Structure 1
């Protein structure tokens, strides 16, 4: 009996000597939306996107105007000339669609490249933050995927990380 008690005391003392694991979680949606780098990228691309939309709309309106004028002129043309005019507008339409699609994809690619870079920096920052602040785990939750079903408010480090992240970004 004394051996069992001694063994129990030894086990309790070993388990009490183990380090407590420090675990926190971040609301990724909130953290990313409040990340100043992301906001700056969005602010940078808003005028570019607005200019693209304005240009696209202008090109489409001009095409529609030309098409309507051609349709009026076509009424007095021979069937052969009408067919040639129709083919011309089909080609113009195809080229216009290609041009618009090309400009849209170029803008999206440029934006996505910068956002991906910011998200990579975000992940690296959180990893380094966890290491330097003694965290064993930093879990993430968001509107899309919840790896944290419940977390005590004391383990929610979202606001702390956002503040540190934005301070690091200002540097």
Structure 2
């Protein structure tokens, strides 16, 4: 009995001496949305989107003015030539709308590409951070609930965000 007790006590002592795996987590949404580089990308594309919208509005107003002028000249649009002019104007406006849609899609595509690259960079940074700081795991929390609870002391979001933003300044 005494030997069994000593063996059990030895096992307990050995297991308590083992180093626990270091685990932390980050709030993915906060990490990405508060990263200064992402804010810079969004600001850059917002300028591009604003310029695009001004162009669309300006051309739209020009077409509306032309259409109003045509209707003013011939309110009943009875003449064949007036109808043809109006249809030509409508077709031209439709071509511009298609061009606008293509430009808008291109802006969205470029923006998404840069955000995707940014996310890959963040993942790589978190991996390096974990390796350098002795973490066995760094989990990501998100709305889907991959980390439903974590002790606040294990939340690395601010530390990693500060390190990411500091790296950007260098």
Q: Scaled by the length of structure 1, what TM-score is found?
A: 0.87
Equivalence for 1:53: 53
How far does the alpha carbon of each residue in 1:21-59 deviate from its partner, in whole angstroms, 9 at most, with x for none? 111111122211221111111122221111011111111
Partner of 1:148: 147
Q: Distance in 1 between matches of 2:108 and 2:73?
A: 39
Deviation at 1:74, TM superposition (A): 4.3
Compute the displacement of 1:79 (Å): 5.3
Q: 1:89 maps to which residue?
A: 89
Mapping 1:150-165, distance limit 5 Å = 150-165=149-164
Inter-partner Cα distance in structure 1 for 2:45 and 2:70 = 37
**Structure 1: where are the runs of 5+ without partners?**
none
| Structure 1 pair 11–57 and aligned structure 2 pair: CA distance change class (3 A) | same
Q: Residue 5 of structure 1 corresponds to which residue in structure 2?
A: 5
SS for the counterpart of 1:139 is strand
1:61 to partner: Cα distance: 1.2
- Matching of residues 39-118 of structure 1 within 5 Å: 39-75=39-75, 78=78, 80-118=80-118
Q: Is the 8 A contact 1:140 1:146 kept in 2?
A: no
* 1:82, distance to aligned residue in structure 2 (A): 4.6
The structural deviation recorded for 1:148 is 1.7
Runs (5+) with no aligned partner, structure 2 = none
Following superposition, the deviation at residue 129 of structure 1 comes to 0.7
Query: 2:70·2:82 contact (CA, 8 Å) conserved in 1?
Result: no
